[in-house]
Amino acid sequence: MSKLIKIGLPSKGRLKDASLKVFKKKNLSIKDVKRNYLSEIKNFSLNEVVFSHAREIVERLADNSLDIGISGYDLLKESLPGIQKNIQVFSRLNFGFADLIVAVPNAWIDVQTIADLEEISFEFKDKNIGKLRVATKYPNLTNDFLLSKGLTQYKIINSLGSTEIYPFTDQSEIITDITSSGATLKANNLRVLKDGNILKSSACILVSKKSLKDKNKKNLVLSLLKKLN
Amino acid sequence: MKSKKYSEALLNLFKKKGFKVKEFENIIESKIIIERSGEIFKKSLLSFEDDNGKNFSLRPDLTISACLDYIKNVKRGIHKYAYFDQAYRRTFGKESLVRNQLGCEIIGSANLQSNIDIINLIDQSLEKVIKYKTTIKINDINIFYSLVDSLKLPSRWRLRLKRHFWRHDYFKELITRLESNSDLQKNVFELDKKSYVKMKKLKQNEKIAGRKINEILNRFEKKIKEPRSNINGARVAQIIGDFLKIKCPFKNAKNELKKFEIKNNINLKLKQFDIFNIKLKNNDTIFSTEIGRSVEYYTGLVFEIYKKSKNLNLASGGRYDNLMQTLGAKSKVAAIGGAINYDNILKL
């Protein structure tokens, strides 16, 4: 069995920079060569750093091809229960703050709460104009939230980006999306519902539960986590 | 072996009463359920896509399968279904993906006799096959709707309470909100009033995200006219709470409800409910306003059957007069059915 531990870090953007800083701050030096997706912590035992998409880090931790990783709490909670049960949140980090929210067009002045949305969804149903469409990159969290708030008559539209324009291009009526300052929502004439906060997210250090049970890796994993704490 | 013995015996008794045993298709087109029922059903479907992008699901429930069969093959008149087969649902806990379902349905009949027939058939068959005494609990969920209509509430709250009567946790949340009196955000509301004036000047038929401006403004006006602050939420919540505690021998049900009406100075319009005319073979029948709150599609009479000594649920069912249309029938087709709790029977 390999004693090498694998650490997954976001491969681009602010998440990558902030993740590297977390290690640097603890005097763990990671060499970052542009366009190279593999590296290592030089001053730590046998290890390999893999730069991946933040969403992929969650999946690789679940199947234990990574041992430790940094990713978004939102991405972890969006993953299927079978994935989440294999991952432990070690700590929430002080960056990557964002809220997953429900937003409606500003002009829907009669809609302030999810309960209002529920009535609108029944209006859509009763008029036989189809289901109220909700565009999102987070279908699982959105479903859990809306159903828990009593909204049942809607249809999820999976979006891969620019979700904010969906209500104004006839691709959906409302959206759920991640926002940090709210500026993009405002610029796109959308507003957040009073009770429309689905999840408060930030970056976090995640650990594969299998690694914590693996005799060959456990001590190394715990030792790195201790340094990062 | 015990399983086979019980299922065969029960199906034979159903057949003797004119029910036709039917095997349903394993796979159904997902859009039949999703397009009409929304994401709540989708969540429980075990679905897959074929090469043409069409989405299919394993049958999630045999009542739905019976309805779809009626729509496709029977189309009109009364049809009596009986079945014993497997349904498949996504599970979120330790429950099995595969559920054995044994049940019977009368589709196409709205009369009181069908209600009596279904309850008597399931109850008497159970007593005969498992050889234990049973207790029946019955209710008509329209009595709750009548209560809601009699309360001083904005119409949007009436709809909410009726729609979510079957969802215990969310219903509790609604009652708490009702008690605390808040569903308008005052500061946002003032800003929206300004938008309202501006929007009044726009073309009223223009659409914003699928809704006409006049629809938005009309609903906004209605909200202003029906403010929540004018009602006594705590009092209403108390009445609903008391109503849901009513439980008595069935023969006393009408009297108990009348006492409740007098105490709370409300009118439940009890004359319109034929549940009080039901005469069942089993005298051990209880009326309980809490019964029938687990399935979304029930529309009237609901029942549950228990093993008398252990209070173990053996069967449940009810009237579902709107489901057929939800699943694609062109006009309203009344129906009633019931399912045996097969796992509990095997525990006996």
Q: Give residue-wise pLDDT tens across range B281-325.
A: 998 999 999 998 777 788 999 999 999 877 889 999 999 998 898
pLDDT at B91 over 80: no
Pairwise CA distance, residues A166 & A92, whole Å: 32
- Interface test with chain B among A113, A152, A188, by most B beta carbons within 10 Å: A152
Do A186 and A137 share a structural domain?
A: yes
Task: Say yes or no: B210 contacts chain A, CB-CB below 8 A.
Answer: yes
* Pairing, β B79-88 against β B20-21: parallel
Put simply, the answer to whether B163 touches A122 (Cβ < 8 Å) is yes
Do A213 and A175 share a structural domain?
A: no
Q: What is the mean pLDDT of residues B63-92?
A: 90
Neighbours of B127 (CB within 10 A): 18
- Say if residues B18 and B104 touch (Cβ distance below 8 Å): no
> Residue A144 is part of which domain span?
98-201
Q: How far is B16 from chain A (nearest CA, A)?
A: 40
Do A115 and A91 share a structural domain?
A: no
Residues B269-278 pLDDT 10s:
999 999 999 9
Give B39 or B27, the one with higher predicted confidence. Answer: B27
Q: Is B269 left (phi over 0), alpha (psi -120 to 50) or beta?
A: left
Residues A42-99 pLDDT 10s:
888 888 999 999 999 999 999 999 999 999 999 999 999 889 999 999 999 999 999 9
Q: How far is B326 from chain A (nearest CA, A)?
A: 11
Q: How far is A108 from chain B (nearest CA, A)?
A: 6
Using an 8 Å CB-CB cutoff, list chain B residues near A108.
208-209, 211, 216
Q: What is the mean pLDDT of residues A21-41?
A: 86
Q: Is B334 left (phi over 0), alpha (psi -120 to 50) or beta?
A: beta
Put simply, the answer to whether B183 touches A124 (Cβ < 8 Å) is no
Predicted local distance difference test score (pLDDT) of residue A113: 86
Pairwise CA distance, residues B217 & B209, whole Å: 14
Pairwise CA distance, residues A153 & B326, whole Å: 12
User: Per-residue confidence at B164, pLDDT binned at 50, 70, 90?
Assistant: confident
pLDDT at B191 over 90: no
Do A150 and A86 share a structural domain?
A: no
Helices H, strands E: what count in chain A?
9, 11
Put simply, the answer to whether B39 touches A147 (Cβ < 8 Å) is yes
Do A194 and A103 share a structural domain?
A: yes
Put simply, the answer to whether B183 touches A156 (Cβ < 8 Å) is no
The C-alpha angle with vertex A10 and arms to A6 and A15, in degrees rounded to 5, equals: 140
Do A76 and A166 share a structural domain?
A: no
Task: Say yes or no: B162 contacts chain A, CB-CB below 8 A.
Answer: no
Domain count, chain A: 2
**CATH value at residue A137:** 3.40.190.10
Pairwise CA distance, residues B289 & B304, whole Å: 12
Do A134 and A47 share a structural domain?
A: no
Put simply, the answer to whether A173 touches B216 (Cβ < 8 Å) is no
Which of A89-93, B181-185, B222-226 is predicted with the least confidence, judged by mean pLDDT?
B181-185
* Amino acid sitting at position A180: S
Return the beta strands (E) in B25-167 as ranges. Answer: 27-29, 47-49, 55-58, 79-88, 98-107, 134-140
Predicted local distance difference test score (pLDDT) of residue A23: 92
Do A113 and A196 share a structural domain?
A: yes
Pairwise CA distance, residues B163 & B167, whole Å: 9
Pairwise CA distance, residues B88 & B81, whole Å: 19
Average pLDDT, chain B: 87
Predicted local distance difference test score (pLDDT) of residue B24: 94
Predicted local distance difference test score (pLDDT) of residue A216: 87
Predicted local distance difference test score (pLDDT) of residue A125: 77
Do A74 and A155 share a structural domain?
A: no
Quote the DSSP letter at residue A30. Answer: B
Q: What is the mean pLDDT of residues B62-86?
A: 92
Task: Give the ipTM of the model, two decimals please.
Answer: 0.81
Do A189 and A118 share a structural domain?
A: yes
Predicted local distance difference test score (pLDDT) of residue A95: 94
Q: How far is B184 from chain A (nearest CA, A)?
A: 7
Do A158 and A118 share a structural domain?
A: yes
Question: Residue B195: which of A109, A146, A150 has the nearest Cβ?
Answer: A109
Give A8 or A31, the one with higher predicted confidence. Answer: A8
Predicted local distance difference test score (pLDDT) of residue A138: 96
Predicted local distance difference test score (pLDDT) of residue B134: 92
pLDDT at B119 over 90: yes
Q: What is the mean pLDDT of residues A197-207?
A: 97
Predicted local distance difference test score (pLDDT) of residue A151: 86
Do A133 and A167 share a structural domain?
A: yes
Quote the DSSP letter at residue B309. Answer: T
Helices A114-126 & B155-163, crossing angle to 10 degrees? 80
Nearest CA in chain A to B169: A148
Residues A123-168 pLDDT 10s:
887 776 778 999 999 999 999 999 888 788 888 999 998 999 999 9
- Interface test with chain A among B32, B34, B39, B207, by most A beta carbons within 10 Å: B39
Domains present along chain B, CATH in parentheses: 2-24+59-146+246-347 (3.30.930.10), 186-226 (no CATH)
Alpha helices in chain B (DSSP H): 2-16, 30-37, 39-42, 62-69, 112-130, 141-150, 155-163, 168-180, 186-200, 213-225, 233-243, 253-264, 323-326, 342-347
Question: Residue A115: which of B43, B160, B217 has the nearest Cβ?
Answer: B160
